[in-house]
Amino acid sequence: MVSENFDEDIILSTSPILETHEINEQKGLVVANVTLGRHVGKDILAGLRDTFGGRSKSWENSLTEAQEDAVGEIVEEAKKAGANAVIGLTIVDESITEGIKNVKVVGTAVKVK
């Protein structure tokens, strides 16, 4: 996946290479973490979904927002490093404890032609 519409100045790719651009320089690893805390209303609704089945749209929306925030942080870190692309972009959603989730985004900031 290559996304050039998240931020016009930074190319984002889940691939470790860019077929459309030549990588001139690696600027280093960029990492962002966004942690979601407990939310009583969402926890109750999620518990009901677990009991009766179905998807918890409120948690899904929160995770999507956290992923977007984390990618935004990666873009800012890449810019600070002097990069114009991030390759090998990986998003991991992890459970820290009951009701606390973390979204981690990792990639390699690079300079491309």
Three-state SS at 16: coil
State the pLDDT at residue 72.
94
Which pLDDT does position 3 carry in this prediction? 46
Q: Which pLDDT belongs to residue 73?
A: 95
For the stretch 23-72, pLDDT in tens is 999 999 999 999 988 654 545 555 555 556 666 677 778 888 899 999 99
pLDDT digits (tens, 9 = 90+) for 99-112: 788 999 999 999 99
CA distance 107 to 113: 19
Enter the tokens of residue 82: 């002097």
Q: How many CB atoms lie within 10 A of CB 60?
A: 11
Domains identified in the chain and CATH numbers: 2-112 (3.30.110.70)
pTM for the predicted model, two decimal places:
0.76
